Amino acid sequence: MHSELVLLKKMRLKALTITERGCNILAPMSRTLPLTIDPWLLYRRNETVEGDLSLCSMPHLLASQNRKDGVAWAKIAVLQREDGQVVITGEATVDVNLTCQRCLQPLDELLVAHFELVLVKYERQLSSVSDSDDAIVCADTLELAPLIEQELILALPMIAKHDNCQAAYTNEVSETADTQQPFANLKDLLK
Ligand SMILES: [Zn+2]
């Protein structure tokens, strides 16, 4: 009887540990980024949204990766710039897995994108946007995934390469090229 009690205690203790662990996992340190925002509402309320975003919601970015899933993180605010323009400003990060173009081995990199886009309600307002600014037309609802995806793609390196790539560039004539003699049989033909 006594041993059963001990066992029961142990089990209870185990169950408690599992629950605690479960709570830790479930505790939302990071939350999911909303799929859409009303940037004008965000602006009026002076609010910021931030959270995780699945790479699966960014198919074009995912296509450039050696992976099938992953999670990006982004933070977005809407505020008025000194020149009076209302801008969507933000930051996005994601771990990308590319291919080094020198050694053709996998290359893991933390991609970071900082962006600022002038926000206008109607297309006709685009004429008031400076050429040096990127702009976005949005009357009310803005889908976040395409925006974040575009900014992360723009932050991708033009050519992915390890910082200290160990692949050596060889400029030697390969052995096979040495032994190949395209005209070797010519003498025989002339006989
Ligand atoms: Zn490399």
Share of the chain above pLDDT 90, in %: 64
Alpha-carbon Rg for the chain, nearest whole angstrom, is 28
Report residue 10's pLDDT band, with 50, 70 and 90 as the boundaries. Answer: very low
Report residue 186's pLDDT band, with 50, 70 and 90 as the boundaries. Answer: low
The CA 71 to ligand 1 mean position distance, Å, reads: 24
- pLDDT for residue 17 is more than 50: no
The CA 29 to ligand 1 mean position distance, Å, reads: 35
| Predicted confidence (pLDDT) per residue in 144-177, tens digit | 999 999 999 999 999 999 988 887 766 666 555 5
The domain ranges of the chain are 1-30, 31-163
Report residue 189's pLDDT band, with 50, 70 and 90 as the boundaries. Answer: low
DSSP the chain: -HHHHHHHHHHHHHHHHHHHHHHHHHS-SS-BPPSEE-HHHHHHHT-EEEEEEEGGG-HHHHHTSSSS--EEEEEEEEEE-TTS-EEEEEEEEEEEEEE-TTT--EEEEEEEEEEEEEEESSGGGGGGS-TTSEEEE-SS-EEHHHHHHHHHHHHS-SS---TT--PPP--SPPHHHHH--TTTTHHHHH-
The CA 174 to ligand 1 mean position distance, Å, reads: 22
Report residue 49's pLDDT band, with 50, 70 and 90 as the boundaries. Answer: very high
30: left (phi over 0), alpha (psi -120 to 50) or beta: beta
What 132-135 contacts at long range (C-beta under 8 Å, 24+ apart), as own/partner pairs, is 133/85
The CA 160 to ligand 1 mean position distance, Å, reads: 9
- pLDDT for residue 67 is more than 60: yes
Which among 34, 21, 11 is positioned nearest to 141, based on CA atoms?
34
Q: What is the mean pLDDT of residues 24-48?
A: 81
Share of the chain above pLDDT 70, in %: 72
The CA 68 to ligand 1 mean position distance, Å, reads: 22
The CA 104 to ligand 1 mean position distance, Å, reads: 6
pLDDT of residue 83: 93
pLDDT of residue 182: 57
The CA 158 to ligand 1 mean position distance, Å, reads: 15
Partnered with residue 18 across adjacent β-strands are none
